Amino acid sequence: MNKRVQYELIWLIAVIAILALSALANYNYTVSSSKEIAQPYNGDPAGVVINVTGYQWGWQFQYPNGTITTDKLVLMANVTYTLIVTSKDVIHDLYIPQFGVQVYAVYDHTNEVSFTPLVPGTYIMECVEYCGEYHYEMRGEVVVL
C-alpha cells in the first residue's frame, strides 16, 4: 500500500470513528427516550393526556377534565404529559423550543409525544410547519405552574 492511500485511509477512519460515535449516541437516545419522540399514537399514553388540535390558524388544547384553551397550554411541574396531536385541515407542527418537544399535526392522523416539564415559568410555543397566510401568528405560550 503506498503512502498516499495510507494518508487517505487514516483520515477516513478518523471520520468514520466520529460518525460511529455520533450514531451510537443517537441510537442510545432514540431507544431510551422513545416516548419523547413524536410517533404515531399507539393507544397506550403515559401520564396525563392532553388532546391537541391544530387548525388554520391556532392551537386548541383539551385537558382530561374537559377544559379547553386556545393558543395557551397550562401544565403542572413534575407531571408527565402525553400530547395527542391531530389537525383539522393542513399540516401543522407544534413546537415548544425550551422543552425540545416537536410533533406534527396531520389531518386524519394522530401523533403522540410525552414529556415532563420541570421548571415553573412561561415559555413560548410555535407552529413550525408552514400553513398559509397567518402561519406566523399560530403561536402562543406554555405556562408551567
Partner 1 sequence: MIFSFELAIFGSTISVLIIMFLLLYFYAQDYRKYLLEVNHEEILDRGQENAVLSNMKRELSFAAFFMDDSKSIGIRYIITSLLFFFIAGLAGIGMRISLWNPNPTFLTPIQYNVLLTEHGTLMLYGWATGSILGLGYYLLPSMLKIKKDKLGHLNSAMFWFYFIGGVLLIFSRSTASWYFYYPLTDQLTEAGGGTYSFAALAGVLLILTAANVASIVFLKMIFLDRDKSIRLSKLPLFAWSIVSTALLILSSAPVSMVADVMLIYDLINPIFFTGSNGTALGYAILFWFWGHPIVYVAVIPAFGLIYELLPKYANTKVYSYKSGVVGLLLLMILSGTVWGHHLFNSGLGTIWDLIFSTTSFLVAIPSAITVFNWIATLWTGKIRLTVPMLFILNAIVDFVIGGVTGVMQADVGINELIHGTYWVTAHFHFILLGMTTGMAFAAIYALFPTLSGGRRYNVAMAKAHFYLTALGTYVMTVPWALGGFQGMPRRVAGYFGIFQSYQDAAAIGGIILGIGQLVFLINLVYSSTKPISVSNENILESEVVYGE
Closer CB to Cu ion, residue 36 or residue 126?
A: 126
Q: Which residues bind partner 1 (CB under 8 A)?
A: 4, 7-8, 11-12, 15-16, 19, 22-23, 25-27, 29-31, 33-34, 36-40, 56, 89-91, 93, 95, 97-98, 100-104, 106-109, 111, 124, 126-137, 139
Query: What span, in angstroms and rounded, lies between the C-alpha atoms of 138 and 6?
Result: 55
Can residue 84 be called a binding residue for Cu ion (CB under 5 A)? Answer: no
Interaction partner, residue 47 (partner 1, Cu ion, none; CB < 5-8 Å by kind)? none
Number of C-alpha atoms within 13 angstroms, CB side, residue 17?
6
Out of Cu ion, partner 1, none, which partner does residue 71 contact, by CB within 5 to 8 A per kind? Answer: none
Question: What does the alpha-carbon distance between residue 104 and residue 40 come to, in Å, rounded to a whole number?
Answer: 10
Q: Which is nearer to partner 1, 11 or 70 (CB)?
A: 11
Cα Dmax for the chain: 73
* Nearest distance, CB of residue 96 and Cu ion, angstroms: 14
Question: What CA–CA distance (Å, rounded) separates 26 from 39?
Answer: 17
Cβ closest to partner 1, residue 8 vs residue 68: 8
Q: Is 95 in the site for Cu ion (CB under 5 A)?
A: no
> H or E element: which one contains 5?
helix 3-32
Q: How far apart (Å, rounded) are the C-alpha atoms in residues 106 and 91?
A: 5
What residue 92 binds from partner 1, Cu ion, none (CB within 5 to 8 A, per partner kind)?
Answer: Cu ion
Cα atoms in the 13 Å half-sphere on the side-chain side of 131: 28
- Which stretches of the chain bind Cu ion, using CB under 5 A? 92, 127, 131, 138
